[in-house]
Structure 1
Amino acid sequence: MISQNKFCIINVLQKMLDKLRMIEIKRAEELEISVVQVHAIFEIGKLREVSTNEFSKILYLDKNTVNKIVNNLVDEKFVLRHIHPENTRHVILKLTENGQKIYENIRDDFKLYCKRILDNLPEKSRESITKDFEILLKSMEDNA
């Protein structure tokens, strides 16, 4: 049985994920590309560069599906791919300047959303919540 406090944390995290998803949907509509492509751009942007093998694990998709997504993003000039200099079997993905702008717009939209929420809280609550989220984030990283 999930306690009320745990349910509240789950609910907050789910709402934040929903908001990020809505930001990605909006950006996809503006760019006239799929939400999956926008999400892929966002994930590559967070990592700066990633191998296609790791990327398929991050997206929870098979390599063929990831290759189709990446091919479209390369064709749209949002992603660059190159062979890893030390291991020629690994392909590395990195955002182009256009892809980087998309990533930064999504990141900035989400930061603005979070800032508006925090700005609506009393100062004392804001400090407490910020500290609690730092603790939660550390726990999440420790249990990844």
Structure 2
Amino acid sequence: MDKEEQLITNFRDLFDKMVWINKYKMEDRLKECTPSEVHCIESIEKNADSNVRELAKSLYMTRGAISKLTKKLMAKKLIESYQKPENKKEIYFKLTPQGKEIFKIHEDLHKEFRERDKVVFEQITDEQFDSMLYFVEKYNSHLDAEIKKQGLTIN
């Protein structure tokens, strides 16, 4: 296995382990929501004036999937829709108090996981962080260019 393959394999293993080790606590604390619903709630809270198009783009999902997801979240009374007075055509979403509670639980869990993993990050030098960040940004830009080149869009 060459270094490229080893790096990608290690990234996948790392991500899979993070998901697996966090899964049980997430599922226990966020019983009423699927992971997609929680990520949609997070995106709505972190991005002002979230609409279907923006959510699809930020979550790498189709607009149809986002429409279904937001309908479920509205039925659960976790989000609500609104329109701006100057634009009655566009529909936006915001969290309800119950949705804000889900968001807070999710954020608190992430803080807990970061605290658990802090021991590793404390050992990393600024130069090592800079090197890793450079690689991730470079690879991310490459994938953005490939997505554009292949004409892949969120519809």
Q: TM-score interval w.r.t. the shorter chain?
A: 0.5 to 0.7
Report the TM-score when normalising by structure 2: 0.64
Contact kept? 1:49, 1:94, Cα under 8 Å: yes
Find out whether 1:96 has 2:96 as its counterpart: yes
Deviation at 1:113, TM superposition (A): 2.2
String of CA shifts for 1:13-55, please: whole Å, max 9, x gaps: 7634763576467545543333322222122233244111221
AA paired with 2:112? Answer: L
**Corresponding residue number in structure 1 for 2:77:** 77
Deviation at 1:116, TM superposition (A): 3.0
Secondary structure of the residue that 1:82 maps to in structure 2? Answer: strand
Contact kept? 1:20, 1:110, Cα under 8 Å: no
**Corresponding residue number in structure 2 for 1:52:** 52
AA paired with 1:53? Answer: R
Contact kept? 1:27, 1:38, Cα under 8 Å: no
**Corresponding residue number in structure 1 for 2:18:** 19
**Corresponding residue number in structure 2 for 1:8:** 7
**Corresponding residue number in structure 1 for 2:134:** 135
Give the Cα separation in 2 of the matches to 1:21 and 1:93. Answer: 30
The verdict on how the C-alpha distance between 1:114 and 1:6 changes in structure 2, with shifts beyond 3 A counting, is: farther
Contact kept? 2:26, 2:109, Cα under 8 Å: no
Secondary structure of the residue that 1:90 maps to in structure 2? Answer: strand
Deviation at 1:73, TM superposition (A): 0.8
Contact kept? 1:24, 1:38, Cα under 8 Å: no
Deviation at 1:119, TM superposition (A): 2.0
Alpha-carbon RMSD = 3.4
Give the Cα separation in 2 of the matches to 1:3 and 1:71. Answer: 46
Say how many residue pairs are matched. Answer: 142
**Corresponding residue number in structure 2 for 1:67:** 67
Give the Cα separation in 2 of the matches to 1:15 and 1:3. Answer: 18
Deviation at 1:105, TM superposition (A): 2.5
Give the Cα separation in 2 of the matches to 1:21 and 1:45. Answer: 25
* 39-48 vs 114-123, greater mean Cα deviation: 114-123
Report the TM-score when normalising by structure 1: 0.68
The verdict on how the C-alpha distance between 1:18 and 1:70 changes in structure 2, with shifts beyond 3 A counting, is: farther
Q: Percent identity?
A: 19
AA paired with 1:19? Answer: M
Contact kept? 2:45, 2:95, Cα under 8 Å: yes
Contact kept? 2:22, 2:113, Cα under 8 Å: no
